[in-house]
Structure 1
Amino acid sequence: MHSADALESSVLDVLDKQIVHALVSDARIAFAKLGAILGVSEQTVARRYRSLRQRGILHVSGQVNAVPLGHARWAIRLRTTPDKAVRLAESLARFPDLSWVTLLSTGSEVTCVSRPRSVERRDKLLLQTLPQASQVIGLTAHEVIHRFPLDEEWPHFSHLFTAAQLRELGSRSTPADAGPEAPVRLSAEDEAMLAILGRDGRAPYAQIAAEIDWTPTRVARRMAELVESRVLYFDLDFAVERMGYAVRAALWLRTRPADLAAVGAAIATHPETVFVAATTGPTNLMVSIMCRDTAHLYRYVTQRLGALDGIADVEVTPALRVFKQAQTLLDSDRISLAR
């Protein structure tokens, strides 16, 4: 058995993987429903989920999609010097508007994703805070102008279910950039609820209701409205190294304008892909991938990407260390909740 496969098997068994896939499909699925689908007890599902969290393997969080609020996402590349790179990444990880803070393998570049919730916060971050930081010697900001929906969300465990089980679970699609015609306005109670869900995407309705002085029924109804309007979506952070994936990489591609949509859609079908979007800037396509090792990364670049027409250039930037994912900090190879 491949060493990475052996590692994955020692961490996640089949039931764990089925629970992971179910949470990817529906992050707030009732454990009683999931147990019935899988043929195990509600208590067994709850115990396994608690174990996955306590071992630092996964974390469920509610995420805010800034686009329906009238704001854009940005992928930011910051150049620094190797002696200051770790300190810069640690500082960026503490910013609430920033996610996916990553030190690249060059040792002198840090990338992150920004989802500012106002024009003022965007301008302060991009025009003042980051450029003026003593560790930063250069900055490139790529606005995300289109996100391509994935065929299946990573880590691709759907094959462990029967067709009937998958129908009962339903499917999750990549959060769309399109939203309501007019930007959604959030109340103070909405913001408080979103903050709670950011810490724990499975927080019970009753807990949220008690904290924001609403009824559980009202919380459930408003949460459903925010999901329907695309403002709220649920995401899972993983300790991917403990699942057998040693290489994360960002790819920065240039395509001919006429080929951009076709190339992005094709990459979205690749099992290694976890994110692909068209962007502004010197490159026009950003891709995040997961590979088991560097040999897998090489095969991906030469075979999967190499088979696509329309790619003029590609820069491969493996991650040396990930400091923060969507909502969680990483402590070595384990998830630790962001504060």
Structure 2
Amino acid sequence: MATELPGESAILDDLDKRIVHGLVVDARIPFAKLGAILDVSEQTVARRYRAMRQRGVLHISGQINVVPLGHARWILRIRSTPSGAFRLAEALARLPELSWVSLLSTGSEVMCVSRARTAERRDALLLKLIPGTPQVTGLIAHEVMHNFPLDEDWPRYSAMLTAEQLRALGPGRPVQDAAVLDAPVALTPADEAMLAILARDGRAPYAQLAAATGWSAPRVARRMAELLESGVLYFDLDFALERMGVTVRAAIWLRVRPADLAAVGAALATCPEVTYVAATTGPTTMTAALVCRDTAHLYRFVTERLGALDGITDVEVTPALRLFKQAQVLMDAGRITLVR
């Protein structure tokens, strides 16, 4: 069922939530089609979408999955001097290869995700740029070994639609693991031009993409479908979570017995509070991102959800003091302010 959070109704009404779910399933769904599914006009869907964007509530971007390109995803925990952590997080948020930049509750640790697309840029980030920053006192890099797909993407509004509406929307497109591919995908300059526009606006019109690539609109559509099928391209929705009733965001770092990794990861992927879960290398073997109504909700998740799972030998919980960047957007006072 959808998780109702305090304060949501002031930001998103029921129709907004149904529109959001449609966009989560298919970020580029034509508004005419989505309106027909939801039994409202195309103009109503378009107006509601524009309003949510203008209020800084959501943003859609096309993201590159570096794994099918032959590279790894890394989750970084960067220790800093207490006085320099805020400035460090601000600087890291402006690097295009880094996403999900947050200052953790220790006040002197920044967490982020690296999606460097070349080995040279990865080494520059992990071995030179970040360690060489004066305020950095330590770095732990966790390579993502396996991403566990969620049973439903957050904010989990599917229960607000009828079974017929859900069938009409379809199942959506999961991000594909590299293991499915025979060889890394090579991107052309025209691909890069298209992807750069989609990173700023995941719903950019085909005509705009055609002008940037020199292709016809049908060719753009075919190539986009190929990149989606390969898993190189996926569409992500960034939300202003604080404006949707979320007051606590946290990461959990788990030590899980190897034989139990798959079962624990699959179980966490069904939890309404979990927005991301992966098995990783490093001193902990699994990490998950959480959204909770409040600290009491977080406590219940740790004691009841995690406590019921076999195989977990140690848990560290690190709430976020402030989120500086999500997948593609910069944040300020809980509002989407700038697309990078």
- Check whether TM > 0.5: yes
1:283-302 to structure 2, matched below 5 A, reads 283-302=284-303
Q: Output the CA distance in 2 between the equivalents of 1:211 and 1:336.
A: 25
Unaligned ranges ≥5, structure 1 = none
Q: Output the CA distance in 1 between the equivalents of 2:96 and 2:63.
A: 12
Amino acid at match of 1:299: R
Kept in 2: contact 1:26–1:169 (CA 8 A): yes
Alpha-carbon displacement from aligned partner over 1:172-224 (angstroms, at most 9, x marks no partner): 25413234211000000101111100000000111111122211111101000
- Who is 2:92 aligned against? 92
Q: Output the CA distance in 2 between the equivalents of 1:119 and 1:315.
A: 30
Amino acid at match of 1:73: R
Q: Output the CA distance in 2 between the equivalents of 1:174 and 1:78.
A: 30
The offset of 1:50, in angstroms, is 0.1
- Who is 2:35 aligned against? 35
SS across alignment from 1:132? coil
The structure 1 segments of at least 4 consecutive aligned residues displaced by more than 6 Å after TM superposition are none
Alpha-carbon displacement from aligned partner over 1:72-126 (angstroms, at most 9, x marks no partner): 0000000012210110000000100000000001100000000110111111111
Amino acid at match of 1:190: D
Sequence identity of aligned pairs in percent? Answer: 70
Kept in 1: contact 2:76–2:139 (CA 8 A): yes
SS across alignment from 2:136? coil
> Number of residues paired by the alignment?
336
- Who is 1:258 aligned against? 259
Provide the alpha-carbon RMSD of the alignment: 1.0
SS across alignment from 2:8? helix
Alpha-carbon displacement from aligned partner over 1:226-283 (angstroms, at most 9, x marks no partner): 0011000000000001000111100000011111111111111111110000000000
- Who is 2:190 aligned against? 189
Q: Output the CA distance in 2 between the equivalents of 1:197 and 1:338.
A: 11
Unaligned ranges ≥5, structure 2 = none
- Who is 1:319 aligned against? 320
The offset of 1:337, in angstroms, is 2.3
1:4-153 to structure 2, matched below 5 A, reads 5-153=5-153
Amino acid at match of 1:195: A
Q: Output the CA distance in 2 between the equivalents of 1:99 and 1:294.
A: 25
Q: Output the CA distance in 2 between the equivalents of 1:154 and 1:173.
A: 14
The offset of 1:6, in angstroms, is 4.6
Q: Output the CA distance in 2 between the equivalents of 1:306 and 1:193.
A: 46
- Cα distance, 1:77–1:5 mapped onto 2, change above 3 Å: closer
- Who is 2:209 aligned against? 208
Q: Output the CA distance in 1 between the equivalents of 2:245 and 2:109.
A: 25
- Cα distance, 1:5–1:284 mapped onto 2, change above 3 Å: closer
Amino acid at match of 1:81: T
Kept in 2: contact 1:101–1:110 (CA 8 A): yes
Kept in 1: contact 2:6–2:293 (CA 8 A): no
The offset of 1:314, in angstroms, is 0.5
Kept in 1: contact 2:176–2:230 (CA 8 A): no
Q: Output the CA distance in 2 between the equivalents of 1:5 and 1:25.
A: 21
Amino acid at match of 2:195: L
SS across alignment from 1:211? helix
The offset of 1:336, in angstroms, is 1.6
Q: Output the CA distance in 1 between the equivalents of 2:172 and 2:266.
A: 17
Kept in 1: contact 2:144–2:281 (CA 8 A): yes
Amino acid at match of 1:143: E
Kept in 2: contact 1:18–1:157 (CA 8 A): yes
Kept in 2: contact 1:69–1:231 (CA 8 A): yes
The offset of 1:333, in angstroms, is 1.3
SS across alignment from 2:7? helix
- Who is 1:171 aligned against? 171
Amino acid at match of 2:144: V
1:266-285 to structure 2, matched below 5 A, reads 266-285=267-286
Is 1:228 aligned to 2:229, yes or no?
yes
